[in-house]
Amino acid sequence: MSGRLPRPLVVPAVLGLVFLVLPLAGLLIRAPWSTLPARLAEPQVLQALRLSLVTATVATAICLLLGVPLAWLLARTAFPGRRLLRALVTVPLVLPPVVGGVALLLVLGRRGLVGSWLDQTFGVTLPFTTAGVVIAEAFVAMPFLVISVEGALRGADRRFEEAAATLGASRWTVFRRVTLPLITPGVLAGAVLCWARALGEFGATITFAGNFPGTTQTMPLAVYLALETEPEAAVVLSLVLLAVSVIILASLRERWVGGA
């Protein structure tokens, strides 16, 4: 405790912090505080904020539902091509989101591979709908969850799973009652990353789901368009998004840490 902090760690750490925090400071300093209340009261702002929170949350739920089993598959099974599959999972991380949006259109769009079938069979089209926003966000955010959960699974002590098996637990029961509780911290961390990424999603969303207030215009889209004409409004919107996400994440963390 009394040992001196190693300088090779502290100096870059401080630089890193400054690097991350300074742009935020820029936003705060340049924020038009006097007009802030009026801007916040605009119905469009609240509408976009609500849509952002709802879609990011639903997208995170979908990512959990699909991503945790996928992470399990990657971490716990051996099959030919697993490495390739693992690389493919990270594709949305590497792909520019706009390209991801175009790719989604090509598959799920009205004339897309799956989309045309959906349209003809069920009369369902996903682009320009709130569901489309959720899909775009889930597509971009899922790798964060999968990678985080896969890491947790690899780090978990498998002997607990063996112990459960000797007690008569089927593989599904083992997963549900032993593995999942053991990796809960990893799953939560992944979900937070996933949610944050979904909340800030712009490129894939505007490309796949378009931009229409109330249905598909999330906060990042509102921010971008505000930037075209009213940079000040964009700053306000960014701050609102930032404040809301920080408050939500901090309060959730409080609850999780308190409960653990």
Partner 1 sequence: MNPPVILSARLVVDRPAFRLDIDLQAGAGEVVALLGPNGAGKTTALRALAGLIALSDGQITLDGRLLHTLPPENRPIGVVFQDYLLFPHLSALDNVAFGPRCQGASKAEARRAAAELLARVGLAERASAKPRQLSGGQAQRVALARALAVRPRLLLLDEPLAALDAHTRLETRSRLRRHLADFDGATILVTHDPLEAMVLADRLVVIENGAVVQQGSPAEIARRPRTDYVARLVGLNLYRGAAEGTRVKVGELLMHTAEPIDGPAFVAFSPAAVALYRSRPDGSPRNLWQGAIEGVERHGDNVRVHLRGPLPVVADVTPAAVAELDLSPGRQVWASVKAAETHAYPA
Partner 2 sequence: MSRRLLRWALALPVLLALVPGCGAGEPGAASTASAPAAGGNAQKLTVFAAASLTGAFTELGKTFKDAHPGVTVEFNFGSSATLAQQIVQGAPADVFAAASPATMKTVTDAALAGAPATFARNKLQIAVPAGNPAEVGELEDLADAKVKVALCAAQVPCGAAAVKALEAAGLKVTPVTLEQDVKATLTKVELGEVDAALVYATDVIASGGKVTGIDFPEADQAINDYPIAALTGAPAGSTARQFVDLVLSARGKDVLTRAGFQVP
**Residue position matching structure tokens 């639903």:** 58
DSSP state of 95: S
**CA-to-CA distance for 138 and 140, rounded, in angstroms?**
5
Q: Which is nearer to partner 2, 98 or 169 (CB)?
A: 98
Site string for partner 2, 191-220 (x = CB under 8 A): ---------------xx-xxxxx--xx---
The answer to whether residues 60 and 135 touch, using CB atoms and an 8 Å cutoff, is no
Partner whose binding site includes residue 110, from partner 1, partner 2, none (CB under 5 to 8 Å by kind): partner 2
What does the chain come to in residues? 260
* By CB under 8 A, residue 159 contacts partner 1: yes
Which of partner 2, partner 1, none binds 28 (CB below 5-8 Å, type-dependent)? none
Given the rule CB under 8 A, which of 38-46, 53-61, 100-108, 180-188 is the region that contacts partner 1?
Answer: 180-188
* Calpha distance 238→130 (Å, rounded): 21
Q: Which does 162 bind (CB under 5 to 8 A by kind): partner 1, partner 2, none?
A: partner 1
* Stretch of 92-100, 142-150, 152-160, 205-213 lying at the interface with partner 1 (CB under 8 A): 152-160
Query: Residue 144: how many CB atoms within 10 A of its CB?
Result: 25
Alpha-carbon separation of residue 215 from 209, 212, 218 (angstroms): 9, 6, 8
Q: Within 13 Å of residue 140, how many CA atoms lie on the same side as its CB? A: 30
Looking only at residues 23 through 52 of this chain, which bind partner 2 when binding is defined by CB under 8 A? none
Question: What is the torsion angle, in degrees rounded to the nearest 10, for the CA atoms of residue 13, residue 19, residue 24 and residue 25?
Answer: 90
Which of partner 2, partner 1, none does 164 bind, CB closer than 5 to 8 A by kind? Answer: partner 1
Q: Please, what sign has the CA dihedral across residues 239, 58, 122, 101?
A: positive
Interacting residue ranges for partner 1, rule: CB under 8 A: 157, 159-160, 162-170, 173, 177-178, 181-182, 184
Residue numbers of the site for partner 2 (CB under 8 A)? Answer: 12, 19, 102, 105-106, 109-111, 127-128, 206-207, 209-213, 216-217, 221, 224-229, 231
